[in-house]
Structure formats: structure tokens, C-alpha cells
Chain A
Amino acid sequence: MRKRVLISLALAIAVSLAAVPVMAGETAYERYDETVVLTTVKRTDPNAKFPEGDSLDNNVMTRYIKDRINVETKTVWEVDSTEFNNKLSLDIVAGTLPDMFSLGNDDYLIYRQLLDNGLLADLTDAYDANANWYLRDTAASFEGRHFAPYTDDGRLMGIPTGRYGYEHNQLWLRSDILEAIGMKAEEILTIADIETYLTKAKEAFPDTLGLALHATDPLTNYASSFSADPIAQVFGATPRYWIEGEDGSITYGSLLPGMKDALTVLADWYAKGLIDLEFPTRVGGGLTQAVTTSGQAAAWFAPWWYGWSIVDLPKNVEGADVVVVNAPVNDAGEFVAPWPSPAGEVLLVNKNCEHPEAVVRVMNLEYDMHRGFDEEAAALYDESRNQNNPTYLDASWTYLFPTSGVNMEYSNVVPTFSHGIHAFVERGSQEGLASPSEVTESIGIGKFIDGDESFEQYRGSYYARYVAGEITDAANVRFVYPAYSQTTESMADIMPSLLTLEQQTVLQIILGQKSVDDFDAFTAQWLAEGGQTLTDEISALLGK
């Protein structure tokens, strides 16, 4: 019963949302007289379970697309995401590329190779004539920056998603520990405050391990759980980013002087036992995560979505709870955070695909259904969602999309949604919510906050969207933008060994095996072993 109430409420809102001004391409929803079949390939989702009789090529979404525009999809193969590029590689050799497929931003060289081999379709016209208002509107929120890497000679050679921001690492603290040691989350601002918290936590709870840290990569960049990069950023260094200096020169952010300050702090904390002493050993298999969910960690850095990863904590430790803060801040009171590369995934279309415009039209319908811009479609989707495992579908809905892996969002979707939820929960206002599915989630979070135990499944959403997401765009957050974030010609050859060198140096300094002064030697070695080549390449690409 409760579910039905949720759906009807969601529907009511969908109707009001339909009033959004539509500026779709002229043929965005044009139907084909003869069935068009698009072939595609997928990355496996090990948790996927379709209702009886449904499959990747026959489910609520493909049926809707077939119904509306007479387009079918055929999944030629699906493999584990780590094997995806290998399979694609074999398809390239055999000349059997599917009609459409997606690549990540890290696969930029594969995109270049496909482009140079003349295997990609020019999507300029297909996109212009067919993208619906949502595709255009979300693209506009990135001011078109994400199109640049996938534009060749003025022609659009793929449909990239903007990589939305605000997934930087924040400081997660245990509110139960704060209470026990008589501190308040608002008091945790500077490096010194964090140290005080960790020290007192350790004194009060000798069994806890302090700050959990990433086993192999304690200082990396955007959206990497357990990386202590906020500590580097507060000192003006941006690990792993190519940064443009005030004089216009390009530098690798892990070489900036602030890194030394950050390493000094981390090495000092490690020596004092304020960092999980065994952190380097927790490699793979979610071991560091286990330290946080088992209640052993007093603090860790992670992005907003870590809320879903910590849901087991209260089950493991009676009364344990978490709170998220923007710390540490610098002397000006700013919390410095990295902004991601402009482009995320990209959808590419085979040059031999007869209907590239069908790909864009399919994309339109995916969002019409999933975001509920088409109310009937939304009802169908919710019905199927409830037949499936709803939590699963909410987490991995892109798997269902024929253009899987591509996720069109507004650049500020994270804080916007969080603010919308706060407005809904605190004032009952629905204005900040962009779709019925967001309303459904807000209702769930509200019930969870009210202590309704049957809404326990919304605990993760509560931590992530309500607690952490809310402060991602706080007034004192200052963003640092990367100057360049694609791969270059030599990067594939040179970067892996440089990365190993960097990771080793950072680890050794934190563990006290090397002194902070050795960092200068690392900088020199890094530049000598190919780092200078990369810097020069990027400077040249940017016309410096």
C-alpha cells in the first residue's frame, strides 16, 4: 500500500514538472516506419536481476522505446567492466564494432584511435536535430566545456556527459564519538581541530584506529574515498591535477610545495598513532571500508556518496552515527576542493550505423522515462522498479539504458538535489526536486528521519544526500579547476611508472621511512623520468 501512495504522489508531481518549457530538436521523437535495430555492448552488472521473462534487450525501457519510436536494441556482448576494452579491441580488429558503445574519460586514447581510423560517425546533425530539452539543458549547465575533447574539426564525434562536480572528499566524523568527548562538529575546522578530535577520540576509545587512510593512494584526487587530499588542498597543492599557475605555466599538482606541508601533517599523525597504523595493508576487497563500517575508524575522507557505504555502521556498533564537515579550512576560512575533468563518459556511434539520429532519440526517451518527464512511462518504470529490487535499480539504473554507462546530469546535481530534499523534508516544498524519482527518494528520507523503521533502507540516502550532499556547495568551498584532464600521446607509456614513484614516496614519507625533505629528490626524479615530457606535451596542447 505504501508503495502505491508513493507512486501516485510521484505522478502528481510529474504532471507539474511536465510544464517545463521544451526546446527539443524538431525530430526528437519522430517514429520510424520500419523497425530500426541498434546493436550495443555492455559492462556487466553482477547484481542485475530482471523480472521473469525480461532481459537486457527486452525490459520496461526497451519496450517503451520500441513503442514510441520503433527502435529495438540488441546487446551483442556484455562483460565485466575491467574486460570491456579488451572485448572492444577484438571487435575493432574483426570489424564488428556495435552501432553504439560508451567509453570512459580515461579511454580517451581509444577514442582518438577510433577517430583516426575513421570508425566513428559524425553526430553533429543528429544531435542538433534530435536532442531533447533535457539533453540540451544539462549540457548547457557545463557551458559546453565537455564537448571540446570530443569535437574534431568543429564536428561532434561523440556525445559526452559532463562530469558533474561536488564529489570531492569531505571529512566524515563519528557523531557519537564527538558527543562522548564533548566536542561539536561545528568546532572542527582547522588541521589543529582535527588533530584534537583524533587525539581525544583515541584517548576515550583506545580500540579505535583514528583516521582511516587509503592503502596505496593516501593523497590522490577527486572522488576517491580515503584519500586525504583535502589536507593537501588546504596547503595549496592539488594532487594528480595538471594546474595552471598564476604565471600561466603548467605544473603537476602533486609537485607543489603544499604537498610537503600535507605530508608533514600526515607523517606526524601517523607517528602519534592518530592514523590507522595498518592502513597500507588494507589493499583491495573493501578492507578500508570495513574499518569504517566496523566502527574502528574515528574519521575518514570520502565523497558525499560514501553515505551508502557506511549503512552497516549502526548495526555493528550500537549507537554509532556519522556527521560530515568541510574541514580542514585554510587561514581565510576556505575549504579547497578539486573540480573534476569536464567530460565523463562518452557515447560513440559506429560510422556504419545507418541511423545515428536514432541513438539520440533513444537517449531522449531514456530520460523521459527514468526522470518521469513522460508520466505514463514513469508509471511503467515504477511498476517494474517495484517488481525488481528497488534499491538495486536505484543504484544502477544506467545498466537498463540501451546507451548504458552514460549519465546526463546537471553540473550541480549533487547539491541541488540535497537542497531540494532539505526543502521538502523541512518545509514540504517540492520546488527543488527535478523528477518524480527524486520526490520518491525525498519522501523516503523524510520517513527515515522521522524514525519510521520500515524506511531503514533510506539510511544510505540520508547520509549521502541529506547530510553530506547538503554542504558540498557551502559558501566557504572554493574550487580548483584542472587545466587539462585527458591523456596525451606519451602518458600511457610514462605515467604508470611515475604514478608508482609518487605513491611510493607519499607512503614512505607518511610511514616515516623517508623524511619530508626527501620530497625534493622525488620532484627532481619525477621530472627527469618523463614528467617533464608530459608537462611539455600538455603545455603545447594548451598553447602555452
Chain B
Amino acid sequence: MRSVKNEIYYNAMMVIGIGFLLVFSIIPMFGVIIAFKDFVPAKGMLGSAWVGLKHFNRMFALAETRNVIRNTLVIAISKIVLNIIVPVSFAILLNELKVYPVKRVVQTVVYLPHFLSWVILGIMFTNIFSYTGIVNQILGKFGVPPQMYMISNSSFRGIIIGTDVWKTFGYGAIIYLAAITNIDPNTYEAAAIDGAGRWQRIWFVTLPSIQGTIVLMSTLALGNVLNAGFDQIFTMYSPLVYPTGDIIDTYVYRMGITKMQYSFSTAVGLFKSGISFLLITLSYTLANKFADYTIF
């Protein structure tokens, strides 16, 4: 039922929010122009000289940038893969638990880390992985010599990936738990009558039933291939682990602000945004096509 009067109301309701987006999101987007210029603050964004793709060429020529892109891919893809495997396994395991009070307690506890900030967790994990921290104390009992995990290039990535999984697996499992709850109990009973054991029930009933959700979540995760987690790495890294831990976002921040390479860092950021944009578009197209998923 369309009515012009209602439409005026609808538009009026959108005005303030859209205004905020225009001011704080759309207008700054024009700033990416400095990626194609040699931005000199004294001359301003428009007055600086146009240099075309110079900064993009430099980006691909620099070994440092290539390494940052590699770090980003390794960390982000590992997180994506593990953040599907672990929550799915956990959801299945939790579904098998028959002691209901314990189930509730476990659920309460595993969702909590999702709501804690990386600033706080950064302090806590620095304690845990420090030379005198819990990890070294426990491994020491097994004769492993203590190490400085947070500043070692052989362990930093592992810590980043592991702690991220730790923080998000519980929350990520919610969606799979919901999918499992939707499974018709009769299917399980039928399987039990056929003599299926626990393992077979998981393999032949549970997993196939949540297959669609798993595929959908994997597709949607595609858009995050260049998002390795700025907040986490920013609060946990140090110059000693730049070789393995520096990602595009942290690199853009350091280049753009600390080292004042405004144009170059904008170019790197634009490169990342561009690729991410394509990937997200692709992932939603796929999700729409195969899972009938739409975000709006």
C-alpha cells in the first residue's frame, strides 16, 4: 500500500542517520584521492601534485609490503579456517552433552571472551605468554625450556591465531547450535533404531544437517581474507615480530601516521579496501546463488 504521505515520513526517518553516514563515511571517501598524488600537507589535498599509480607501483616493488600482504593472508586465512572447524566441533560436542546444568555453565563461560576487548586481553595474554607466565611454567614441567613467545617470530602468529580462536569460537558456535537444534529428533531416533552409534549419528545425521550453515558461513567469511584483526595485533605486537606479525592494517597505520607517508599508506589502504570489496561482493553473490541468502 503505497502512499506519498507515508513515503515522506519514511524519508524523514532516514534523514538523520543518512546524514551521519554522508558526513563521517562518504565525505572522507573522497580523501582516497591522495593515493594518486604526492600529498604535501602545506599544499592541501587538491593542490598536491598528481602522480598516478606511483605509490601503487612502489607498494608492489617493496619487499616489506609484500611481506605484510603475506602475513595478512596467512593469519586471516588460518583464522577463517579454524573459526569454522573449532566452533562446529564444539557445537557438536556440546550437543552430545547430556548433563544439562553443565551445558548451561559451559555455554555461559565460552561466550564471555567475545565481549572482552583486545586491550584487556592483550594485557592478560602478555602475562600468560611472558617468560615467567603460565605457559612456560606448565611446559617447564615437561622439560621444555622457557621461551619469550610474544616476541618470537616462530610463535607470534600461532599466538595471534590461537587467541583469536579462543576469543570467538564460543560465540561462533551459537549459529551451529541453533542449526543443530532445528534437526528433527525423529531423524536421530530412526538412526538409533538402525543401530547407529554416537559417531555414526554425528557423521550421518548432525553434520549433513548443518552442512548448509557451514557452507554459508564459509562463503561469507571470504570477505575477511584481508582482515587479520587490527585491534588484536595492534595491542599484542612489537617491532621484534614485524617480520611475521605485521599486517596491512597495522602497516597502513604506522606508515600513514607514525612515518607520515600519507599518500603511500592511503594507496596501500585503498588496495586492501578494493580487494575486500570485490571479495565481499563475490561472497554475497555466491551465498545468494547457492544458499538463497540475502542481507537485505
Contact = CB atoms under 8 A, between A and B. Distances in A.
Q: Do A and B interact directly, with beta carbons closer than 8 Å?
A: yes
Given A113-B260, A283-B151, A493-B64, A92 B41 contact: yes
Nearest to B40: A117
A265 B260 CA distance: 43
30 contacts: A85-B258, A86-B257, A89-B257, A89-B258, A89-B260, A90-B257, A92-B260, A93-B41, A93-B262, A94-B41, A95-B44, A113-B260, A117-B40, A117-B42, A118-B42, A119-B41, A119-B42, A216-B151, A216-B240, A278-B131, A281-B131, A281-B132, A283-B148, A283-B151, A492-B259, A493-B64, A496-B239, A496-B242, A500-B240, A500-B243
A206 B243 CA distance: 40
B146 interface: yes
B131 A282 contact: yes
Interface in A453-476: none
Contacts of A283: 130-131, 148, 151
Contact of A281 (B148, B240, B257): B148
The 5 nearest A-B residue pairs measured at CB: A281-B131, A86-B257, A89-B257, A92-B41, A89-B260
Contacts of A86: 257-258
B149 to A, nearest CB: 11
Contacts of B40: 117
Nearest to B150: A283
Interface in B132-166: 132, 146, 148, 151
Interface of A: 85-86, 89-90, 92-95, 110, 113, 117-119, 216, 278, 280-283, 492-493, 496-497, 500
Consensus secondary structure, chain A interface: helix
Contacts of A110: 260
Contacts, number: 44
Interface of B: 40-42, 44, 64, 130-132, 146, 148, 151, 239-240, 242-243, 257-260, 262
Contacts of B243: 497, 500
Consensus secondary structure, chain B interface: helix
Contacts of B44: 95
B262 to A, nearest CB: 6
Contacts of B240: 216, 500
Contacts of A500: 240, 243
Contacts of B151: 216, 283
A280 B149 CA distance: 12
Contacts of B132: 281
A503 B257 CA distance: 27
A367 B45 CA distance: 42
Given A216-B240, A278-B146, A500-B243, 14 more contacts: A86-B257, A93-B41, A94-B41, A95-B42, A110-B260, A113-B260, A117-B41, A119-B41, A216-B151, A280-B148, A281-B148, A283-B130, A496-B242, A497-B243
Contacts of B148: 280-281, 283
A281 B146 contact: yes
Nearest to B62: A493
A110 B259 CA distance: 8
Contacts of A493: 64
A340 B146 CA distance: 36
Contacts of A118: 42
A5 to B, nearest CB: 47
Contacts of A95: 41-42, 44
B147 to A, nearest CB: 8
A349 B148 CA distance: 43
A460 B228 CA distance: 47
A113 B262 CA distance: 12
Nearest to B146: A281
A118 B42 CA distance: 8
Contacts of B41: 92-95, 117, 119
Nearest to B260: A89
